[in-house]
């Protein structure tokens, strides 16, 4: 099949490309040079198309050029913290960019479209609301969450109005190799890898270790996206998660054990987000029922692979982390 991907050079996008190439598909990747931070694989089945989510005309040309059977929309501003620094841009690219992509899909011929939003839309959660489901009412507490609510609300509208077979994938935290810093696991793993390689003193800075979150391996997450494109129900939303919560402290302790180093752990107030919800996890019952997807990769394996990735990255440079 011909597959059009936005965000193919990002964390999850790069794994999606790997997965789809292994299945023999032809990939057309929308590339925005100013924001793309991963290299696309040098493969005859991968082709770059330059474009911008905020330019509808260029986006329509890109989709028409790709002629896709399926579109995966992963591109956007991905950080709640960054969204406070530039709320307008976050709203524009995440909500407006999604609207533009859906318009381009309608104009091309209605391929199947997977829109990736985020579980960050839920905001403050009480224990009696857990596990979260697709029926839980969003209560976003930052511009990023608001932008993703808006993007997700476009999904049923475009199915109802245009019969565009579009699905909302609502992932919780996903982790694994290639993730950039600014998120809890790569922040820990990068520091521990630097300590292990002697590039950094044996001290690590952390935020709130008591928060409990739902983590899924990125390779399981992209497998869920593919399952949705194959057998999801148009206009529907699907949570993608592990179905359980673990503390950030457990994540850190496991990474320290895997790194086989002794470290001094210091809490940094600057790393503590005031909007932290104590516990957050979801249910993947709906996507399992509709597509037979369920997570396969253990948390320990995900953390080991993330740490190994950072060790390999830092080995390539002699600069301190």
Domains and CATH numbers, the chain: 2-174+215-240 (3.40.50.720), 181-213+244-280+297-315 (3.90.25.10)
Enter the tokens of residue 309: 């990735």
With CA atoms as reference, report the closest residue to 265 among 279, 253, 283.
Answer: 253
pTM value is: 0.94
* pLDDT digits 0-9 by tens, 82-108: 999 999 999 999 999 999 999 999 999
Lowest mean pLDDT among 27-41, 132-146, 235-249: 27-41
* pLDDT digits 0-9 by tens, 46-65: 999 999 999 999 999 999 99
* pLDDT digits 0-9 by tens, 149-159: 999 999 999 99
- The pLDDT score that the predictor gives to residue 161 is 98
For residue 228, pLDDT over 80 is answered with yes
For residue 237, pLDDT over 50 is answered with yes
Percent of the chain at pLDDT > 90 equals: 83
Enter the tokens of residue 93: 């690219």
For residues 138 and 134, what is the distance between their CA atoms, to the nearest angstrom?
10
DSSP notation for 122-172: S-S--GGGPSB-TTSPP---SHHHHHHHHHHHHHHHHHHHH---EEEEEE-
């Amino acid at each position: 099949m011909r597959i059009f991907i936005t965000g193919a050079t990002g964390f999850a996008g790069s794994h999606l490309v790997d997965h789809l190439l292994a299945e023999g598909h032809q990939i057309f990747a929308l590339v925005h040079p100013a924001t793309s931070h991963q290299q696309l694989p040098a493969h005859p089945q991968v082709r770059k198309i330059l474009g911008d989510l905020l330019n509808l005309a260029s986006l329509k040309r890109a989709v028409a050029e790709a002629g896709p059977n399926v579109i995966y929309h992963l591109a956007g501003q991905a950080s709640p913290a960054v969204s406070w620094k530039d709320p307008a841009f976050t709203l524009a690219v995440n909500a407006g960019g999604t609207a533009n992509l859906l318009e381009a899909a309608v104009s091309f011929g209605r391929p199947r479209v997977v829109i990736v939003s985020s579980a960050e839309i839920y905001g403050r959660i009480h224990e009696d609301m857990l596990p979260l489901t697709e029926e839980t009412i969003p209560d976003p507490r930052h511009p990023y969450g608001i932008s993703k609510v808006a993007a997700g609300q476009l999904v049923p509208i475009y199915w109802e109005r245009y019969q565009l077979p579009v699905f909302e994938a609502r992932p919780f935290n996903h982790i694994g190799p290639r993730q950039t810093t600014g998120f809890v696991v790569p922040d820990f793993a990068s520091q521990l890898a630097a300590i292990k390689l002697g590039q950094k003193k044996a001290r690590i800075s952390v935020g709130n270790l008591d928060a409990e979150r739902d983590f899924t391996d990125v390779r399981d997450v992209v497998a869920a996206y593919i399952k949705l494109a194959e057998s999801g129900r148009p206009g529907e939303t699907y949570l993608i998660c592990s179905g359980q919560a673990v503390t950030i402290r457990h994540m850190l302790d496991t990474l320290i054990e895997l790194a086989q180093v002794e470290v001094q752990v210091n809490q940094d107030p600057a790393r503590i987000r005031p909007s932290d919800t104590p516990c957050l996890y979801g249910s993947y019952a709906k996507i399992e029922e509709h597509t037979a997807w369920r997570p396969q990769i253990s948390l320990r394996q995900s953390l080991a692979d993330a740490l190994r990735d950072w060790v390999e990255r830092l080995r390539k440079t002699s600069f301190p982390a």
